[in-house]
């Protein structure tokens, strides 16, 4: 049986280009190019590196989104993935993270029915538009498998029963050994994503589209109505004021100048 890896990837607007409408506070998505979410490119790259190392690896990319998310699947396949699945249905449109992870869970359970068990699931740490970093951990919870987030180094043992990962923390790191199957969320330090290849672009690999019925998802748990989160307002934070350098030849002089400035601002 193949060693099955599932990568969940999201098509996102290129945030280098996107702007916020100052009047409505909503994102101006019109005319903005869509890209493979950055962390998801690292997730796919890690899956492909395992495929490079072992003979019998199958990499499947699953995305939930509108029909144009097929472009993302095309790109992932052109980089080396074996299969791409788009989950697209009006019923799942407007989903928040909870509803998104319900949809992805249902899609993965459908995939298992067709293909047998998966060994590893990768997601990115977070999407550059939603930025919540919730979908990966929620998905692992719903599937009942162990998870490690913020993975910056990865090693798989030769018999592929466990993986050892380095997990980034704010002030250090953790080295964790996890039994498979598990879900890992990846960050940019993990690897450098590869480019598409000509063979990949012209290859003949499978792309499927599933609707809500295909994945037998509970319709009361997906879509806008079922989503418990509401975006109240989006805005661009005001740029920070430049800092002030406190001058003085000695530490005492600097401290004195600092006190003068604070007094001037009536802070003390």
Q: Where are the alpha helices (DSSP H) in the chain?
A: 38-53, 70-79, 97-115, 135-143, 198-202, 223-226, 251-264
CB 35 within 8 A of CB 11: yes
Min dist CB 252 to ligand FAD, Å, is 49
Indicate whether 10 belongs to the interface with ligand FAD (CB under 6 A). Answer: yes
Locate tokens 């101006």: which residue? 28
Distances 91 to 66, 95, 127, 210 between C-alpha atoms, Å? 11, 9, 21, 12
Q: Which of 59, 73, 108, 133 binds ligand FAD (CB under 6 A)?
A: 133
Site for ligand FAD in 182-241 (CB under 6 A): 224, 227, 229-231
Nearer to ligand FAD, 13 or 254 (CB): 13
Residue 190 near residue 148, CB atoms below 8 Å: no
User: Per-residue string for binding with ligand FAD, 57-86, x by CB under 6 A?
Assistant: ------xxx---------------------
Q: Maximum CA pair distance of the chain?
A: 74
CB of 97 to ligand FAD, least distance (A): 4
Does residue 46 bind ligand FAD (CB under 6 A)? Answer: no
- Interface ranges with ligand FAD (CB under 6 A): 8-10, 37, 39-40, 63-65, 93-97, 100, 104, 123-124, 126-127, 129-136, 224, 227, 229-231
């Amino acid at each position: 049986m193949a060693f099955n890896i599932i990568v969940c990837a999201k098509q996102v607007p290129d945030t280098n280009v996107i702007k916020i409408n100052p009047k409505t506070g909503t994102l101006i998505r019109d005319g903005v190019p869509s890209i493979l979410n950055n962390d998801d490119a690292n997730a796919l790259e890690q899956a492909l590196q395992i495929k490079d190392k072992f003979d019998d690896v199958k990499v499947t990319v699953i995305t939930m989104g509108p029909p144009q998310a097929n472009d993302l699947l095309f790109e992932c396949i052109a980089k080396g993935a074996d299969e791409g699945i788009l989950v697209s249905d009006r019923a799942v449109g407007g989903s928040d993270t909870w509803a998104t992870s319900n949809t992805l869970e249902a899609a993965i359970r459908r995939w298992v029915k067709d293909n047998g068990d998966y060994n590893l699931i990768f997601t990115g740490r977070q999407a550059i538009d939603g930025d919540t970093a919730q979908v990966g951990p929620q998905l692992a919870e719903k599937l009942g498998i162990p998870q490690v987030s913020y993975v910056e180094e990865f090693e798989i043992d030769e018999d592929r029963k466990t993986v050892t990962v380095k997990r980034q923390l704010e002030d250090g790191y953790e080295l964790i050994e996890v039994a498979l199957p598990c879900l890992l969320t990846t960050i940019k330090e993990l690897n450098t994503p590869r480019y598409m290849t000509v063979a990949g672009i012209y290859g003949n690999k499978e792309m499927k589209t599933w609707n809500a019925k295909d994945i037998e998802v509970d319709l009361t748990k997906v879509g806008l109505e079922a989503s418990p989160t509401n975006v109240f307002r989006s805005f661009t934070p005001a740029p920070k004021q430049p800092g002030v350098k406190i001058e003085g030849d000695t530490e005492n002089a600097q401290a004195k100048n600092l006190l003068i400035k604070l007094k001037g601002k009536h802070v003390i």
